[in-house]
Amino acid sequence: MNSTEYANLERIEEHHWYYAGKRELVRGWIQKARPPHKADRLLDCGAGTGRFAAEMAGLCDVWVLDDHEDALNLLRKRFKADRILNLAGDRVPLPDASLEFVTALDVLEHTPDDSAVVRGFARLLVPGGLAVVTVPAGMALWSDWDVSLHHYRRYDRAGLRALFPPAEWEVVFVNYTNVLAYPAVWVLRRWRKWFPAKASEAAMSERAEDKVPAAWVNRILRRVFVGMAFWRVPMPFGVSLILVARRR
């Protein structure tokens, strides 16, 4: 992401229903699938502003990883230098089987080789360790929004699950999330594609994604988003996907 996107994210993510809800959702699945203890070690990959990792620091021992200078500058505000990691080539500079948790929230779509990234998760986790990832869903929603965020792809459930082969992983949960927003997002993405001039003009003003709704609306949207994302009913579509997998 560019500097503007990081600035927007830092400004709204504490309270915005989607970002706050996503952190609550991932934290909730971690606590359901493998409750963390103080001695457990967690690496948040593509940690961005570091807000999720900072929230998890009260539950376990946390490191953060990123390779964007804008993100690293933000992480330095929240973490000591020895807790901030950068890639050594394509390799995370931690020993094999050294972590109980790996998280990657909207990260895999930014990587050219997502399979290699997941193999890295497998190397880092102890047997029984947990990986939790979120990704944008549905190539039907692909738009200039994805281009501006430097995405390589959006995912479907089968494609995301295929990154975690059964020989190495037990997939605890995988499902679409943000289901109710899908129709509105689909219409908006089609409008941006069919009327690029108007979309470009609208982009000059503040985007809806960069605004926190009224407090009562924000609370309702967050509760619906998080509540549905814990359902085990297979959803047919959604704006995002979450996967929870345990290392064999």
21's tokens: 């809800």
Residue 212: phi and psi, rounded to 5, are -85, 125
Predicted confidence band of residue 204 (pLDDT cuts 50, 70, 90): very low
CA-based end-to-end distance of the chain: 33
Predicted confidence band of residue 28 (pLDDT cuts 50, 70, 90): very high
Residue 239: phi and psi, rounded to 5, are -75, -25
179's tokens: 């289901």
Predicted confidence band of residue 196 (pLDDT cuts 50, 70, 90): low
What does the alpha-carbon distance between residue 164 and residue 196 come to, in Å, rounded to a whole number? Answer: 37
pLDDT at 44: 98
pLDDT at 207: 58
pLDDT at 109: 98
What does the alpha-carbon distance between residue 189 and residue 207 come to, in Å, rounded to a whole number? Answer: 13
Q: To which H or E segment does residue 174 belong?
A: strand 169-177
Sheet holding 41-45, edge to edge: 84-85, 61-65, 41-45, 99-105, 125-136, 240-247, 169-177
Predicted confidence band of residue 190 (pLDDT cuts 50, 70, 90): confident
The answer to whether 90 and 111 have CB atoms below 8 angstroms apart is no
Domain containing 182 equals: 3-247
Average pLDDT over residues 29-51: 96
The total number of structural domains in the chain stands at 1
pLDDT tens-place string over residues 98-145? 999 999 999 999 999 999 999 999 999 999 999 999 999 999 999 888
Average pLDDT over residues 192-212: 62
* For residue 163, pLDDT beyond 90: yes
* For residue 4, pLDDT beyond 80: no
* For residue 189, pLDDT beyond 70: yes
- Which residues have C-beta within 8 Å of that of residue 223, sequence separation ≥ 6? none
Average pLDDT over residues 34-43: 97
* CATH number, position 49: 3.40.50.150
Average pLDDT over residues 7-14: 84
pLDDT tens-place string over residues 69-87? 999 999 999 999 999 999 8
88's tokens: 């050594």
What does the alpha-carbon distance between residue 101 and residue 43 come to, in Å, rounded to a whole number? Answer: 6
* For residue 200, pLDDT beyond 90: no
Three-state SS at 150: coil
What does the alpha-carbon distance between residue 91 and residue 116 come to, in Å, rounded to a whole number? Answer: 10
pLDDT tens-place string over residues 212-229? 999 999 999 999 999 999
Q: CA 87: distance to chain centroid?
A: 19
pLDDT at 205: 45
**pTM metric for this prediction:** 0.92
Mean residue pLDDT of the chain comes to: 92
